Chains A and B, each alone.
Chain A
Amino acid sequence: MDIIAGWRRRELWTTLALHDVRQRYRRSTLGPFWITISMGVMVFALGLLYGQIFGQDLTEYLPFLAAGFVIWGLISTVILGGCQSFIAAEGLIRQLNAPVSIYAYRELWSALIAFAHNIWIFLAVAWWYDVPMNWSLLWVVPALLILLVNGFWISLMFGLLSARFRDVPLIIGSLVQVLFFMTPVIWRPEMLPERALFLQLNPFYHMIEILRAPMLGQTPSLENWLVVLSIALVGWGITLFFYSAYRWRIAYWV
């Protein structure tokens, strides 16, 4: 199938993704490290500001914020990039007889490259504030994997929808912006007076939490994991259905 055939061309899409990232920072002296720097500036500025506003102890708040930001960066890049996965590859899709899933892999990979640049901010903050390291750190690996599994169906599904309906990337773009403020990235879940329902209903809360908790030395909750796993199952079910039905139309739409 297209997705498996796409996986076999991984030398191609890893190279393409690398070129994408380099393209964005071409001829700048620091290159992709601007990703790291801009994330660093953001975390410190917002950390100092909101630490004051919320009256938080920076020892705990800054690592929390850094972890949240880095993960949110990964999730939002995957979603926004996923919308563009097929549209941006228009030229290649019409000229190259390669499985179209490679363009979804490519977006995922370049999001992961950016994540690899951002994670250093968290590591620096964590080292500075002595964030506890323990066995729950092992949860990072499966958490990252399940996020990528989710990211892949998002790339395929949103890419497909966006190729057909060009309003989709715009809608998703503004939704993601709103959801950033609805999701506990700069504020802590405990700050809500009662565990509000809209927090539990927010899929991004669970996605962030399964990765952030182990990064901060806590064990992620079963509830978070169950939610993210069911999102993956349902998402893949829907995506496989639509993708196998409409994959062949993508070349016509772009």
Chain B
Amino acid sequence: MKEKIKIASGQGFWGDLIDAPYHQVMKGEIDYLVMDYLAEVTMSILQKQKIKNPKFGYARDIPQLMRRILPTCKEKNIKVITNGGGVNPIACAEAVIEVAKELGINQLKVGVVLGDDIKDSLDDIIAQGAELNNMETDESILTIKDKLLSVNVYFGAFPIVEALEKGADVVITGRTTDTGLTLAPMIYEFGWDKNNYNLLSAGTVAGHILECGAQASGGNFLGDWESIENFAEIGFPIAEAYPDGTVIITKHEGTGGRVSFETVAEQLVYEIGDPKNYITPDCVADFTSIKLEDLGNNRVKMFNVSGAKETEFYKVSCSYFYGYSASGSLTYSWPKALTKAKAAEQILRKRLELLDLSFEEIRAEFIGYNATHETLARKIDEDNINEVMLRFSVRSTNFESVERFGKEIAPLILTGLPAVTGFAGGRPKPSEVVAYWPALMPKTLVKPVVKIIEV
């Protein structure tokens, strides 16, 4: 058994710094590169891409990235684990194999985790007793069943462990939990038992720290952010894991950002609910048990984590077509920028009313004044404000209403208040609103499948 392993976070979301995983591989020693690409509604975007082209439906950044890092990964035996397979992990794996062939790599095993996409077998699964009610509202899935775009089960770490056991150098999954990507190599390397919930929880907490990339190493840090150096070359976090569940969070030498008690603690409280019950398919981690010790020099020791047995349910992430929305903006300058922006809002509301359109919601916000803190925004002195941007948005199930709204923004330049500008992007177009439907289903009704594709 290895004495320790280093697991490096390469992406916090699809759209994160393109070069981050490259730097993780190149700027120091690591054993694993883990990359989270999937936000809650990403699956529906990928599903649409797959409908247009059956070879798409995964994060197409992956083959491009692999072209840059694969030779080094092979040479140094760095394994890559990602959920960027989206709704087409096989196509993603095949693309990686193609890259390997082009690079002249003649031995590469890509593990693929399948089975999370249950859209086509949904009727069977419902017939077998899965209710799939909305976890937040308790509504029945039958109310949106005709509008479903994607239905995916969140698998945990164990299918990835199986792929690693089968010798995979690269593991590509569909909807796997972000935390499972980091936990899996610990289970595999240290032989952790699936009933040792304290260890599984320790790996899960490490996964939570890594899953948002540089948010654990100084990015978006609301504490003493002015003292953080070199954001331009921010280092992404690395979990140095030990067999007893101790994990040291760090980053490569010479990179920007900071790993400290404070930066790690901020990430630990990010997007959590009840900290005693952090539920994953692998375990239920207790965030109130975590001990953090700042060792200095961008090293934070995490230990003492406890947790409990996993639940009998998988979380299911469904996306469905909801309607349309559009958003447009105009910028009003001094004098009386806010007064004019507010008057423009009223004019626009009146015009939409006269057009007899149908909207579920209309919203006006004043950027530069209260768009973020709303009722908590400080009152402003109109003489001292240089400009305000009116951001006006609508949502409707009626396409024509949203499209018509888009034609009402630009006319305000010639038919409303003075000293206004900022309309250059053309008419706001209706965009499809794809909504998210979280649900639970018994674990017994679905089984992950692990395949190996190799050169």
Q: Does B associate with A?
A: no
